[in-house]
Structure 1
Amino acid sequence: MKAVGFKTSLPISDPNSFIDVEIDQPTPTGHNLLVKVRAVSVNPVDYKIRQNAAKDTVLEQPKVIGWDAVGVVEAVGEAVTLFREGDEVYYAGDITKPGSNAEYQLVDERIVGKKPTTLTDEAAAAIPLTALTAWEIFFDRMRLSRERDQNKTLLIIGGAGGVGSIAIQMAKKLLGLTVIATASRPETMEWCQNLGADYVVNHRNLVDEVRNAGFQYVDYIVDFVDTNQYWDAMADLIKPQGHIASITGSATPIPLNKIKGKSVTFSWELMYTRSNFQTEDMVEQHHILNQVADLLDQGVLQGTLTQTLHGLSAENLKKAHAQLESGTTIGKLVIKY
């Protein structure tokens, strides 16, 4: 089958940063589905893995990445109970397994959801990874609820990116929070406002911007950009006994003592934790994706697709990664096969 991969980590400008390859079509066993992929979205995790997975080495077999997909179930393993052949599905996949930049992919049914019926393949492909991340950060890590937290304040650092775009909507529509999102360009500010942000502030002078908007402290902060870069600002702005959560990792150790005096909680979120460790509650991602599909079909949430490329090819993957690496992407970029 056709796939796009790489054998060594190269700058995206290098002609061999991605290569078109032919690999064997896999056969599903156990809880795996064999999915014929129709569309994929590209996320920062894709280019970070491309940049680091084969540094200073050349792999014997090409590494195929990609962790957001929409497709149709072609065959099922013997333990599958949640889906059958012909079902339309969407999922973010498993970072330890071959990815979705291929004609066919194996994926565990427990991390797969039903495709939203009202969305095109490309619009649906833009959703899984970001929706799972935002849902888990709000409901699993921070344990927020509308009954307890309605009208409390939330600062979203990185409002116009993929995760920020769905997080703004969940925070407003599902939790009833007062949302302050960061953006710096007129087009990204407008994007955040259209998604439901109550306030949009410039991240380049974050503390003053939030204070000038009328908030001495905020109840909650989620970081979708850079934990190290914004740590001092977050420690300053968070309300005593508040909660900060981040998805971005840290290049250097985080000085947690800066939030000790306020008794602030800090949480990491990685949506691959459940699949990486085959946790007992791994099937929760199946349920989350189904709930998100229903919310999209009901019009409570809206899609975040802003750009589509056509065709599974090394050339299109290069274009997509170059766009993501530029740091200027609004919403989500999708490749339609």
Structure 2
Amino acid sequence: MTEMKAVGLYKYLPASDPECFVDVSVPKPEPKGHDLLVRVQAISINPVDTKVRAPKDQVEPTPKILGYDAAGIVEAVGEAVTLFKPGDKVYYAGAINRSGSYAAYQLVEDAIVGPMPQNLSFAEAAAMPLTTITAWEALVDRLGIPAERGASKGKSILIINAAGGVGSVATQLASYFGLTVIGTASRPQTEAWTKKHGADFVISHRQEFLPQLQAIGFAEGVDYILCLHSTDRHWKNMAEAIKPQGRIASIVENEQPLELGLLKSKSASFSWEFMFTRPVYQTPDRIKQHQLLETAAQLMEQGMIQSTMHEQWQGINAANIRLAHQQIEANQSIGKLVILA
């Protein structure tokens, strides 16, 4: 049996612990059915990586391989695959219930994989899949915004934490869809990054939203809100800032019960977005992830969307993965951190 190099974990430890991640050799997988075997060229690190690794008592009998963003080259395909062939360059976010991208090779279902944008490097492409899927699904599937250029002109959206990985893509997509985009930021660097990616206005998420929105001309608030940071902390602010019959979506799980009654008088709606829902539950429409990644690749090739890679490291190994997790957990990230194989 052929072996491959990977970075795995046996124990769920703090990222500062030297045994948090270890370099391992594991069997190289073989594709069957609708799976692609991808030779991983670059990965990016997301907050979900750190949440899965978060300390707990569980011990794995075999190394668990994390990683939910990658760009690479199709090495082989299962007998049912028609979307791709060996040699194709692809990008994808995988599934949270399967072995991940911290490895030389990875199996991933073809329905959740996209053709890599031709104008991007592997590193630039690896920054994009998870955040693009999340942003697209949140805007289009959860908030109901038409996925057409300029179709929502005259409508407004508030994106909380607009300089993060998802926010950087959501800002660009919302602008492309025609929305007036108000991003939140809290530092000069993040404010500049947010404006660079297409925000029309930037306000602070450390102050009340509605007075700031009113000061820049949004007297009644906004039509849509996308929450990408602390749903608990911002809930009342969001309820005040959403227009009557507006829509709110969040990707950040709550730690306390949310007072949905605050939305009742406005007939406002609230939705969750979790980009792993489709692959984990094998929903019949999971081909939409392939389709949206394909459309996003075309937008990147046309220059409508830019890669959100902010940092690039060399070497998918335990030491780099540990450092990357520590950086993500410091909550100071701008854009995406990418690691090349």
Q: What TM-score comes out, normalization by structure 2 length? A: 0.96
The alignment status of 1:313 with 2:312, answered yes or no, reads no
Alignment of 1:240-251 (within 5 A): 240-251=244-255
2:185 is aligned to: 183
- DSSP 3-state at the match of 1:322: helix
2:327 maps to which of 318, 323, 334: 323
Query: Any idea what SS the aligned residue of 1:134 has?
Result: helix
Letter in 1 for 2:5: K
**Letter in structure 2 aligned against 1:178:** T
Aligned to 1:202: 204
- Secondary structure at the aligned position of 2:43 is classed as strand
Cα deviation code 1:207-243 (max 9, x no counterpart): 2332322323111100001111100000011101000
Alpha carbons 2:151, 2:178 under 8 Å: kept: no
Alignment-mate amino acid for residue 278 of structure 1: Q
* Residue 166 of structure 2: aligned partner: 163
Counterpart amino acid of 2:205?
H
Q: Which amino acid aligns with 1:110?
A: A
- Cα shift at 1:57: 2.6
1:254 paired residue among 247, 251, 258 = 258
2:289: which partner in 1? 285
Amino acid at match of 1:88: K
Give the Å deviation of 1:155. Answer: 0.3
Take 2:208 and 2:196, find their aligned partners in 1: how far apart are those partners? 21
Equivalents in 2 of 1:277, 1:58: separation in Å? 25
**Alignment correspondent of 2:124:** 123
SS at match of 1:23: strand
| CA positional deviation for 1:206 | 3.1
* Percentage of pairs with the same residue: 50
Structure 1: distance between partners of 2:216 and 2:279? 40
Q: Report the alpha carbon displacement of residue 148 of structure 1 after superposing the two structures with TM.
A: 5.7
1: distance between equivalents of 2:261 and 2:324?
Answer: 39
Instruction: List runs of 5+ in structure 2 lacking aligned partners.
Output: none
The one of 3, 11, 19 equivalent to 1:8 is 11
Measured after TM superposition, the shift of residue 8 of structure 1 is 1.1
Is contact 2:194-2:202 (8 Å) kept? yes
Shift of 1:80: 0.7
Tell me, in whole angstroms, the C-alpha distance in 2 between the residues paired with 1:51 and 1:210: 36
> In structure 1, what is the equivalent of residue 134 of structure 2?
133
Aligned match of 1:192: 194
Moved over 6 A (4+): none
Larger deviation, residues 25-34 vs 143-152 = 143-152
Higher fraction of strand: 2
Who is 2:109 aligned against? 108
